[in-house]
Structure 1
Amino acid sequence: MRVGLIVDSACDLPYEFRRQHDLFVLPVTARIDHQTYVDEHDPVRTQEFYQSGLLQKGHHAETEAFSVQQIHDLFMEKIVNQFDIAICETVTRSRSLIYQNASEAMNSVMAQYREVRNAAGVPGSFSMRVVDSKQIFAGQGLLAAHTLRLIDQKLSKNALRNEIERFSDNIYTCVIPRDLHYIRERARRRGDKSVSAVVAFLGKALNITPVIFGQGVEGQPVAKTRSFDVAVEKVMNYATGRVQAGLLTPYVSLSCGMTWTEIEELPGLNRLRDACEQQGIELLLSQMGITSSIYLGPGSVCLALGAEPHRFSDFQ
């Protein structure tokens, strides 16, 4: 039984990890200054994106989910004949239409796949499930990595679905936005009022950098610092302490909206690396994809791990 995992472009994972595990990436359309890009998480294109400065002030950037028909065509062409069971994990439905569009595309695929498989001489039936990850960016990447471990355990379809949903509720995410004003403007254009104008103003006027922490997208500010580096240090301290205390899956996912040179200079990163190595944890370090970076803004950081209930302050 061939089981395949599909993620979308909001899912941040290292390129080599995705290539090694043959993950299929469902693209997202990005529009920057009236130019259209298709974000397929190509590492060369992503690096060029950061070096170009396209997200700096003065540039208008938006993302758009592939349409139902576009997703349907991709599933029929790339997925139906390659796998017997396909799981599509999308960015949280509260932040994107990807889940809705992928679900509608799945329904039409399930009604038409037999003709395609028969024409290709592929025996047997095909089944598919679209899952709302309830995560963003690094959190979605962590769920994908854990799902691959579950697939290797040869679980039944129902057991696999139940384990994915259960684990998703145990993912804790830290987000450090570099520019609250950028996030507020993006949220305003989407009609998302989760970032208030007052908070954005304070962040801009006083150079406040918050740490937003919580399960999935249900995060709240747990620290307000006057320095981005101090905020990063707090998150690295948290992750290092949580790794040493034990995790529910042997991964920590960390994505950063910056060049690799800037990533390697992040304070506390090497300390987290050492802790992961000592505990047998794989640090999934990646450049934030174009989709993620447009959402959070350049220079932002997102970290996710799976653990028992705890507070951010427990590891400071």
Structure 2
Amino acid sequence: MNAATKLGAYVLGLAVVFGGALGVGNMTGPVVGEPPAEHHAAATKPTESHGGGHQAEQTKNDTPGGLQVSEKGYTLNPLTTLKAGKKADFRFTVTDAGGEPVTDYQVQHDKKMHFIVVSRDLDTFQHVHPEMAADGVWSVPLTLESAGAYRAFADFAPTGGEALTLGADLLVAGDHEPKALPEETRTSTVDGYEVKLDGDLAPGSTGKLTLTVSKDGKPVTDLEPYLGAYGHLVALRAGDLAYLHVHPDGEPGDGKTKPGPEIVFYAEAPSAGGYRLFLDFQHEGKVRTADFTLRTGPATGAPTPDVEPTGHGEHSH
């Protein structure tokens, strides 16, 4: 079988998986965190939290974030074709209901746009921050090393509008063999750092996730703020890539949150299944990404724990 045929068959298989998984996502409800819940596909209204950060009020929406290319009148439009292993100036727009590029965005966690690209098999992950031209075209240097199917997430809030995450598929031509989801892993090593994950994701209840960072066997107690927090956690559901971006409990400078070694998150899985988690943290002037795999069982019906977040908690980007 030649390369084009292989990739075509692979993409057809993805369409079947994606269609089925989207149905599951619609039935299982939104990706949410500690109450009051918020997620990217929800309609939100910013309010002040008691911990000095901010949270949001949510209106009902049964679709997890990142599963739709168009939502609430906004559409994500990739403009660049990528080639395996070739660095490109990747360009895209977000258009409004009239088809015009949006040019006015709110700053959220130090950026107007958070852009995340993952391979469909969840083996690779990139969190980048594009720059926007006056005409509303966003661009960012991007390299996808291997052929195959990818998912891009645009995480943003138009000025005067609601926070959204839109998702679009990117196809890179060539021969590709997708990888199986890794076995459950709770320890990740990157650039000499070791990050341990304690806690679980559970459908139907909020779970506490604690990420502990060490280097050369010693706790890291001087993590540096990155995009307004000591860590950013993205969780993606295997299959349809339902998207959850969670920010830590507490924030730098609030007088309560220590700069490591622990980073605490509260999150809820939208359904049972396999998840890949990616933690961005900064130390000694460099951002690093630790990755993990978790598997959740069926919802138990247990009540959501009564937690008292002190800062960001779960946010829409």
TM-score by length of 1: 0.29
Q: Which has the higher helix share?
A: 1
